[in-house]
Amino acid sequence: MAALIVAVVAVVVALAGFAWSIVWSIWQHRQVTQSRLHVRAAFAVLINPLGHKPVFAVTATNAGMVPLTLSTVVAEVKGAEEHLALMVWQFQTPGPLPQKLGPGETWNGHFDPQSFREAVANVTPKALRGR
């Protein structure tokens, strides 16, 4: 009887180890093969010797383990039937789009908030423009 209990415990431990190795393999595969992009947007001020200018800043950081290519920035406006692709940038670092980002690398872009407001007004239904 004791031998049977030892055998059952050994089988349970072996199955638990097998299940753990499967879960670990799936988790590890996802970590090294999927890209992750963290995007933040905020108002900012560009300061230079000629003065300062308010801008809207977009920062995209590759938080994954694989390189990715950032080709465009699109704004989704609530209530609009279309998305806005931001094309006119005042300043971009490390360079213009499309930009290849390695793991941990960051791209920054700044655009004029007034032109963005005008574009939003063109794609947003009239009922939502006053809000």
DSSP strand E in 16-95: where? Answer: 37-48, 51-62, 68-70, 73-76, 83-86, 91-93
Q: Are 131 and 114 in contact (CB under 8 A)?
A: no
Q: What percent of the chain has pLDDT over 70?
A: 94
- Taking only the tens place, the pLDDT of each residue in 18-40 is 999 999 999 888 888 888 999 99
Q: According to the model, what pLDDT value does residue 127 have?
A: 47
What is the pLDDT, as a whole number, of residue 126? 59
Do 68 and 117 fall into the same domain?
yes
How much is the pLDDT for 125? 66
pTM given for the model: 0.72
How many domains does the chain divide into? 2
> Which residue, 109, 43, 41, 34, is CA-closest to 71?
109
Average pLDDT of the segment spanning 57-69: 94
CB 108 within 8 Å of CB 93? yes
d(C-alpha 55, C-alpha 70), whole Å: 21
Largest CA distance in the chain: 89
Instruction: Identify the domain containing residue 69 by its residue range.
Output: 35-129
Domain check: are 9 and 48 in the same one?
Answer: no
In terms of domains, do 23 and 56 share one? no
Q: Are residues 69 and 89 in the same domain?
A: yes
